[in-house]
């Protein structure tokens, strides 16, 4: 399986180490916006070809799989180009800038018969898989409400982000809603089914920024806080609050409340706790070597297996999930702009 990667930073942190555990996977080339970054990462992992032009990379090799880990603004164009070149595609989250782009990505992959996945690796995390099993088995009874909070401080200092940082620019697809909210929405849809109604917003709390190197002022346009309430088609009510601008980081906590039991999960220590009604909480944590590495390896192995077998992935988030997730994210933004409840389908009109 000949692999090409677009985007060196996340490739170095996750894709390349994971692909070492995929039999038959050969990373042929890597592209990055900066040649220095592309060459450095390629040299570290023994990748023979490095580019600072992703289009030139796609034109120079025949890939079985292209992995895309770039700013959201580039996802649609790079995905469509990779598919047109005959490759299967793994794309980073959030899927796209909006549901219209996500719909075109899905349509192109389906029309070409290509295997497609979004890198929602948490679906392969042992503890989150255990949660899915418990819900499916009915151990919690009827799921009535869910509470998720993700509170960090990394963006609190106005000088914490460099000028031009794409994560802080809405026009490039940055912001907490896409960075973390996309994961939360995907997990919620996986565990609980589809989203019926959305209410929320994604504001910019600290727009006035200073470049940490030069001290020059600049303006952040992407949300550093995002929050939403979901009413699932099943009737379950979900509340999610995410912030990168708190004075103290409080981590990511998930609490799932059913008619017969409760689950809590903390990202800080990955402890999964479960209690049936009237009983004390018990530690049911599944041993894990790390929230990201085991999950990305398992995702890559499933993706490679699907490509070899000529089938759709049996696990993980496909572009269809990416589109459904994107519709929910778009609905949060629409809700914030118009101050009303929104159905995700509204964002698909004209897509």
Domains of the chain: 2-121+295-316 (3.40.50.720), 123-288+325-344 (3.30.360.10)
Q: Are 147 and 241 in contact (CB under 8 A)?
A: no
DSSP one-letter string for 281-345: -EE-PPP-S-TTHHHHHHHHHHHHHHHHHTS--SSSB-HHHHHHHHHHHHHHHHHHHHTS-B-GG
CA–CA distance, 87 with 103 (Å, rounded to integer): 18
Query: What DSSP assignment string belongs to 76-136?
Result: HHHHHHHHHTT-EEEEPSS--SSHHHHHHHHHHHHHHT--EEE--GGGG-HHHHHHHHHHH
Taking only the tens place, the pLDDT of each residue in 155-199 is: 999 999 999 999 999 999 999 999 999 999 999 999 999 999 999
**18-70 confidence digits (pLDDT tens):** 999 999 999 999 999 999 999 999 999 999 999 999 999 999 999 999 999 99
State percent of the chain over pLDDT 90.
95
Which residue, among 90, 71, 75, has the nearest Cα to 3 in the 3D structure?
90
**Binning pLDDT at 50, 70 and 90, where does residue 342 land?**
very high
109-156 pLDDT, tens per residue? 999 999 999 999 999 999 999 999 999 999 999 999 999 999 999 999
* Contact present, 201 and 227 (Cβ < 8 Å): yes
Distance CA 180, CA 2 (A): 30
Model confidence at 294, in pLDDT bands (50, 70, 90)? confident
pTM listed for this prediction: 0.96
pLDDT for residue 291 is more than 60: no
pLDDT digits (tens, 9 = 90+) for 201-251: 999 999 999 999 999 999 999 999 999 999 999 999 999 999 999 999 999
Beta-carbon contacts of 330 under 8 Å, excluding residues fewer than 6 positions away, are 98, 99, 344, 347
Nearest to 217 by CA among 208, 226, 225: 208
pLDDT band of 102, cuts 50, 70, 90 = very high
pLDDT attached to residue 350: 61
The Cα 188–Cα 168 span in angstroms is 25
pLDDT of residue 292: 55
Tell me: pLDDT of 351 over 90. no
Sign of CA dihedral 219, 224, 225, 230: positive
């Amino acid at each position: 399986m000949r692999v090409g990667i677009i985007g060196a930073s996340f490739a170095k942190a996750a894709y390349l180490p994971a692909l070492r555990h995929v039999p038959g996977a050969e990373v042929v080339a890597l592209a990055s916006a900066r040649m220095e970054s592309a060459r450095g990462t390629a040299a570290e992992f023994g990748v023979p070809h490095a580019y600072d032009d992703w289009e030139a990379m796609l034109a120079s090799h025949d890939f079985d799989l292209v992995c895309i880990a770039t700013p959201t603004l580039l996802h649609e164009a790079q995905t469509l180009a990779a598919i047109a070149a005959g490759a299967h595609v793994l794309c980073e989250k959030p899927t796209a800038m909006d549901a219209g782009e996500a719909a075109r990505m899905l349509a192109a992959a389906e029309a070409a018969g290509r295997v497609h996945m979004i890198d929602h690796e948490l679906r392969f995390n042992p503890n989150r898989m255990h949660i899915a099993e418990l819900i499916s088995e009915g151990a919690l009874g009827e799921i009535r409400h869910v509470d998720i909070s993700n509170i960090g401080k990394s963006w609190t200092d106005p000088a914490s982000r460099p000028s031009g940082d794409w994560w802080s620019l809405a026009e490039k697809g940055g912001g907490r809603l896409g960075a973390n909210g996309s994961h939360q929405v995907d997990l919620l849809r996986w565990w609980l089914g589809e989203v019926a109604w959305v209410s929320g917003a994604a504001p910019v709390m600290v727009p006035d920024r200073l470049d940490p190197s030069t001290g020059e002022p600049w303006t952040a346009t992407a949300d550093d806080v995002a929050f939403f309430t979901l009413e699932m088609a099943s009737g379950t009510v979900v509340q999610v609050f995410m912030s990168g601008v708190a004075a103290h980081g409080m981590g990511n906590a998930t609490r799932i409340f059913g008619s017969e039991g409760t689950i809590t999960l903390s990202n800080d220590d990955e402890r999964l706790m479960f209690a049936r009604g009237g009983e004390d909480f018990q530690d049911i944590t599944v041993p894990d070597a790390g929230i990201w590495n085991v999950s990305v390896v398992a995702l890559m192995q499933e993706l490679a297996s699907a490509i070899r077998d000529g089938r759709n992935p049996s696990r993980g988030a496909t572009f269809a999930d990416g589109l459904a997730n994107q519709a929910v994210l778009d609905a949060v933004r629409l809700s914030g702009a118009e101050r009303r409840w929104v159905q995700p389908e509204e964002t698909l009109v004209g897509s």
